[in-house]
Amino acid sequence: MKVYSFPHGGILFDDPYAPSREGSVLSFLPWLVVIPFMQDNGNMSSPVVHSGEKVHEGMLIGEARGEDSVNLHSSIPGNVLRTVSWDIEDISSMISCQGLLIKLGGAFDKLGKVAKEQQWLGLSARELQHIISDYGIVEMEDSGRPLSAVIAPYEDLGPPLSLVVRCVFDDAWLVADYVLCKERLDELAEGAFIAAKMVKAEKIILAVSAPERKLGEEILAAMHRFLRENSIHGIAPLLVLVGSRYPQRHQRELEIVLRRFEKKEKEQFGPFIYMGPATICAVYDAVKYRKPILDRYLAVGGSALARPAVLKVRIGSRLKQVFEECGGFISNPKRIAIGSPFLGRAISSMDEPVMPYTSAVFAVADNDSILNSNPRVLSMRSMYRHTDLNSEKMPYASAVQCICCGECRTVCPVGLDPEKLYKKIVENEIDEKIKSLAMKCHGCGCCALVCPSFLPLSQCIVTVIPVTERDSPLNIQDQEEN
């Protein structure tokens, strides 16, 4: 079976301190959770419960306020103690978060109980969309955006639309998604059909990293089994094997390889809508069992941790508890962050909660590992933290530190010259040409990762054009064809 990859650039990103892929460990129930009012940096939801009130597992505790917020549900039964707030540091700003602190108490309504199965085959796309809105389903892989807001722009595109089930593991820290795929194979398969019906997709494309071919074939077999058992015809899922170089899972790179597949196999895909395995399983739980997102698979690791593992944790569990469950720290952590060591963000406190879209947390030892084997990671993350993006001249490291090795050019998947762009931006020589080149950058971070001078190339380049004005991945086919 042919493997499709984006044409140039990218890096292989492995990490010996990521947890094993063997399976997940069910986490202890937290005695305190923090349920954030806000997902990602969207709008806050309005609380519908207050201090002193009792809540039950899965109960609505916050209502969506506008399209960028979601209905919130309590992940445990208990009592609302109070509202808490904390700040998190985004790539260019501080975000203030608020949430409800809930103390465990009373019986679980869903945990350990057999839930009543709901029939969904007779439901319309609109009815399915209402269910995912009611149950507060968000995109669980990257953004945490409400799924209803993610799918809204596709409503008017009309057929043919293809749902891409994104099982692309181009970073060792995506291990939680990998384990979820293995452990929830049948739910993922059926969930893909629910999601496809919900967005009116005519095709389902299962994009799987080539080394995980066996897993891809198992998911595909589960999909065919579902079709047979329910006598469904007219929608045949396709397996496409893709490269495992980072940033293969980025929408731009994935779209490139899927368009190549489309051309070669004489398919007609139309626009793509992407969903990852955790999101699809959340759709399945909401539609089939009327269950909101109460827990998630979380990769916990890093060189400072005693026992890295993939945990199944309740949403709102505090990071403190998560690390304790993995045996605590064996040495002083130099850095604790959420996401992968490559693209993660430093945590603000050990009380930060696990959000629906938190896929990994890691603690890096003071004297070891990623810092020594790859000190750029720390360097690039700490650089932008001290960067005043509003100042006239970017206070980045001096461009004279560049040793002109050309590494950044070899890894850029878009074919840009990050060295040249960086130098122009640092010198504040940003003309229309520089802007149009920066427009093509999608902030994958490969250039900064390989730079031996630790220059924060990608962080600098992406500031030139606001994300809302950058090239849309949906235009890629035209660019590739021209």
**Can you give the binding site for ligand SF4, defined by CB under 6 A?**
402-408, 411-414, 416, 418-419, 441-447, 450-453, 455, 457-458, 461
Cα angle for residues 377, 383, 384 (degrees, 5° grid): 110
| Pick 74 or 463: Cβ nearer ligand SF4 | 463
Q: How far is the CB of 12 from ligand SF4 (least distance, A)?
A: 15
Q: How far is the CB of 418 from ligand SF4 (least distance, A)?
A: 4
Distance, CA of 50 to CA of 379 (rounded, Å): 43
SS3 of residue 49 by DSSP: coil
Q: Look at residues 361, 398, 407, 356 and name the one whose alpha carbon lies nearest to residue 18.
A: 361
Q: Alpha carbon of 374 to those of 220, 335, 370: distances in Å? A: 37, 14, 5
Helices within 319-428 (DSSP H only): 319-325, 369-373, 376-385, 407-411, 418-426
| Pick 171 or 262: Cβ nearer ligand SF4 | 171
Q: How far is the CB of 406 from ligand SF4 (least distance, A)?
A: 5
Count the helix, strand and coil residues of the chain and give each as a percent rounded to the nearest 5. Answer: 35, 20, 45
Distance, CA of 369 to CA of 33 (rounded, Å): 31
Residue 346 near residue 335 (C-beta atoms within 8 A): yes
Q: How far is the CB of 385 from ligand SF4 (least distance, A)?
A: 18
| Pick 337 or 438: Cβ nearer ligand SF4 | 438
Q: How far is the CB of 18 from ligand SF4 (least distance, A)?
A: 22
| Pick 349 or 382: Cβ nearer ligand SF4 | 382
Distance, CA of 182 to CA of 164 (rounded, Å): 18
Q: How far is the CB of 441 from ligand SF4 (least distance, A)?
A: 3
| Pick 275 or 378: Cβ nearer ligand SF4 | 378
| Pick 282 or 446: Cβ nearer ligand SF4 | 446
